[in-house]
Amino acid sequence: MKYVREFLLFAAVFCLAGVFPLLAQISPLLPSQKAPLSDRVVAYQIDANYHPKNHSLDAQETLTWTNYTGQPQDRLPFHLYLNAFQPKSTFMREAYEGGNRDVPVGAKWKDKKFGEDVIKSFEVVGMGDLTGKLRFIHPDDDNARDQTVVEVQLPRPVAPKEKVTFKITFHDQFPEVVARSGYKRDFLLAGQWFPKIGVWWKNTWNCHQYHATTEFFADFGTFDVKVTLPANFNVGATGVQTGETANADGTKTLVFRAEDVHDFAWTADPTTKIVEDAVTISSGTVKLRLLMQPGHMASAPRYLDALKGTMKKFDEWIGPYPYSQITVVDPPHGGNAAGGMEYPTFITADTTWWMIDGLKVPELVVEHEFGHQYWYAMVATNEFEDAWLDEGINSYTECKIMDALYGRDVDFMNTRVATAGERGTARARYIGVAELDPMTRRGWQFLDFNSYGGITYSKTTLVLLTLEHIIGEQKVREAQHVYFERYRFKHPTADDFMNTVNEVAGQNLDWYWNQAARGTQVLDYRILSAGSERADWANKNAPKKEKKGETEYISSVVVHRRGDFIFPVTLEVKFDNGETIREYWDGQDRWQRYTWQKKAKLLSAEIDPDHAILLDRDRFNNSWLSYPDRPATRKIAGYWMLLTQWFAQLLAWLA
């Protein structure tokens, strides 16, 4: 035992000194998971050398692709996403015309936003050097200057189930951070940074250009990545670190391993502080790793609390998280374009040095981005064509989990002067774009960025919240669980999701999906008219003075379907004798009149009294009162005064 202890001490010293790599004992999957979890179509090995002085990178990539398409393949497409950050790209043209999160409409080109992914050499093992056979294609538009997709023609086809290996040398130039990739001062977020093969999906190659309002789609596999960079940089990445070597030139080489994921991202920054913790869920104990900016350390406990709470809720409601680690990156001041992004086992957060406790931005961003680990990272739908299956479903689960963790209607803002919740913010984003685009529209074909966001994120949230009114909250949750367990690592479609909900609900909901998801119908019901008239109005001998409880009235309410979305609604009416009546209308016709004759006057009428139909575009026209509601008027006036004063102070600060 003495010699064993001495040897272990000797090995530990040399590992810490960086003389040889750490032993690869850390698994990217939890022990409870039986690998492989996916088909592992791809196996990437990348050896990258990062040059922080000019924010560039040189790398060698070895990609082994297995042909599971069921047919011979001799043309294979690859994404080169960083080429989107060039003045003539489709991404930049669309951003200029319709805007996106980081590029406003009409923005002028800035050279510091330039990015590129240049293939220096392209060899196919057993087929030779095919660099000269590469050609750029643009499957989505006629922009010949877009270079975000490249295709190679092989000299012979790859047979079904045959493996083919590509050896690619490439050079990256990162832009100043835009669209969740790039640098800010010494900080780097390396996202979509390597040539990535497309996906054979629905019996064809799916390899879309990079658009201003689209994200990504890729096959599952393994990643073995080495990153060499200056020794003073702290690094976080997809998967887990399995080794580290100190080099004689003042650099270090870090080794990472990820399994059953479809992408790999990493970050580097010499100033970040590393905070570590852990959370135990049903699948095991997961390591939590935060890379914090020094000025943002006050948000670290908030990130951790939100992350732990979110992981436990997903574990309870949706299914197990199978990976051994999750990394959270806190972007630097001025680097907000790097915030709020998801990659497998790796997310970026968002905060500021002045973030008040009542503003739940750090919590909301961490919750949302971790949620993507389920819908984007594991279920892995096509974000180009079915963005709502990830962003939308994730926004719905965000709403439910934020409610559970921080309280309904105060889970976005909870201060002495104002409160706000996820439901309200979703409705605010949806109302202005309600009739513009269906949820099922391809991501780059929306009218503009506002419509993309309002429909993909917010409308989907409201559609699923309204679905709770139809089949119940528990059934919606059960459907999500079944969908996740059935389709994780499978690339499902919109029909797969909707059919799963139909199955769990035990009813055909196509009448709802056709309007809510596939169509642009707007749901808007209103009280067209309401009131009470004396029943004896034609009797000349009737007493002139009305007596409560004795005078008989004919009361009527007309409910009008103002929009073209047909949906069953409930009408609640109240009378001055304390009586409340609820009527059910299938909403099929354009209007419906209800009449009651009784010794009581109508006081109020309200459509959707439980406030469960969140898709209703205009809720102000849902009710009628026979008397003015003074408290509501004063509340609205107070909020308006607060808003105008805050806006005036903001303008003064900006000036």
The candidate with the shortest Cα–Cα distance to 309, out of 338, 324, 327, 288, is: 288
Rounded Cα distance between 329 and 338, Å, is 9
Rounded Cα distance between 260 and 219, Å, is 9
Position 655 scores a pLDDT of: 43
C-alpha dihedral over 455, 565, 609, 557, to 10 degrees? 150
Rounded Cα distance between 401 and 405, Å, is 6
Q: Is there a contact between 167 and 62 (Cβ–Cβ < 8 Å)?
A: yes
Q: Is there a contact between 43 and 160 (Cβ–Cβ < 8 Å)?
A: no
As given in the structure block, the two tokens for residue 605 are: 């009428």
As given in the structure block, the two tokens for residue 76 are: 């294979």
645: buried, middle or exposed (CB in 10 Å: 19+, 13-18, 0-12)? exposed
The candidate with the shortest Cα–Cα distance to 459, out of 484, 435, 426, is: 426
Q: What's phi and psi for 101, nearest 5 deg?
A: -60, -35
Position 539 scores a pLDDT of: 86
Rounded Cα distance between 481 and 479, Å, is 5
Position 630 scores a pLDDT of: 63
Position 288 scores a pLDDT of: 98
As given in the structure block, the two tokens for residue 57 are: 């990178």
Contacts of 480 (CB under 8 A, 6+ apart): 317, 318, 393, 397
As given in the structure block, the two tokens for residue 226 are: 């080495």
594: buried, middle or exposed (CB in 10 Å: 19+, 13-18, 0-12)? middle
CA dist list (Å): 258 to 169, 237, 263, 436, 522: 21, 9, 9, 41, 44
Helix ranges (H only) for 472-538 are 473-487, 494-505, 510-516
The three-state secondary structure class of 646 is helix
Which residues face 128 on adjacent strands? 124
- Mean pLDDT split into 10-residue runs, the chain, 655 residues: 36 37 69 95 98 98 98 98 97 92 86 96 98 97 96 98 98 96 97 98 97 97 98 98 98 98 98 98 98 98 98 98 98 96 98 95 97 98 98 98 95 91 95 97 96 97 98 98 98 98 98 98 98 89 86 97 97 97 98 97 97 96 87 62 58 49
Cis? peptide before 36, omega within 30° of 0: yes
Rounded Cα distance between 377 and 341, Å, is 12
Rounded Cα distance between 228 and 251, Å, is 7
Regarding the domain with residue range 390-516, which homologous superfamily does it belong to in the CATH classification?
Neutral Protease Domain 2 (1.10.390.10)
CA dist list (Å): 201 to 80, 379, 490: 19, 14, 11
Contacts of 652 (CB under 8 A, 6+ apart): none
AA letter at 553:
Y
In a 13 Å sphere around the CA of 651, the CA atoms on its Cβ side amount to 6
DSSP result, 604-635? EEEESTT---TT-S-SGGGEEESS--HHHHHH
As given in the structure block, the two tokens for residue 235 are: 């690094």
As given in the structure block, the two tokens for residue 539 are: 């009797």
AA letter at 68:
Y
C-alpha dihedral over 362, 363, 365, 368, to 10 degrees? 170
Q: Is there a contact between 387 and 443 (Cβ–Cβ < 8 Å)?
A: yes
Contacts of 108 (CB under 8 A, 6+ apart): none
- Would you list the domain boundaries of the chain? 390-516, 525-627
CA dist list (Å): 468 to 365, 508, 515, 620: 24, 15, 16, 22
Q: Is there a contact between 307 and 269 (Cβ–Cβ < 8 Å)?
A: no
pTM score over 0.85: yes
54: buried, middle or exposed (CB in 10 Å: 19+, 13-18, 0-12)? exposed
The three-state secondary structure class of 80 is coil
The correct answer on CATH 2.40.50 for the domain covering 525-627 is no
Q: Is there a contact between 283 and 326 (Cβ–Cβ < 8 Å)?
A: no
Q: Is there a contact between 455 and 446 (Cβ–Cβ < 8 Å)?
A: yes
As given in the structure block, the two tokens for residue 339 are: 């915030």
Rounded Cα distance between 531 and 387, Å, is 46
